[in-house]
Amino acid sequence: MSAIILFTAVSVAQLMLVAAMAIASIRMFIGPRAQDRIIGLDTFYVNAMLLLVTFGVGTGRVVYFEAALVIGMLGFVATVALAKFLMRGEVIE
């Protein structure tokens, strides 16, 4: 019984995360300003990270959690670099 509930919950979560990624990609490509595009990118990588975590929960493999950790770290650095570029016009001073 609990395996069926886990499978259903993971499947529903994955579907919702894919829908959120689609909405974030629309914001990323059609955003009227650069700030909207960066927020769309930030939302996209967070949803991708969470999608990998749900794959890891569903399959029980550790490699998905490690990949999600790498995506989280790189996404954070990318968001900070893009925000700094928008504020100052350069990333490295």
Report long-range pairs for 33-41 (Cβ below 8 Å, ≥24 apart): 34/86, 35/86, 38/79, 38/82, 38/83, 38/86, 41/78, 41/79, 41/82
pLDDT digits (tens, 9 = 90+) for 52-83: 999 999 999 999 999 999 999 999 999 999 98
- Write down the pLDDT at residue 1: 61
pLDDT digits (tens, 9 = 90+) for 1-38: 698 999 999 999 999 999 999 999 999 999 899 899 99
Domain contains 20:
yes
Chain-centroid distance, C-alpha 86: 21
Domain contains 82:
yes
* Domain at 22, CATH number: 1.10.287
Amino acid at 42: D
Domain contains 46:
yes
pTM, to two decimals: 0.86
Number of residues that make up the chain: 93
Domain contains 76:
yes
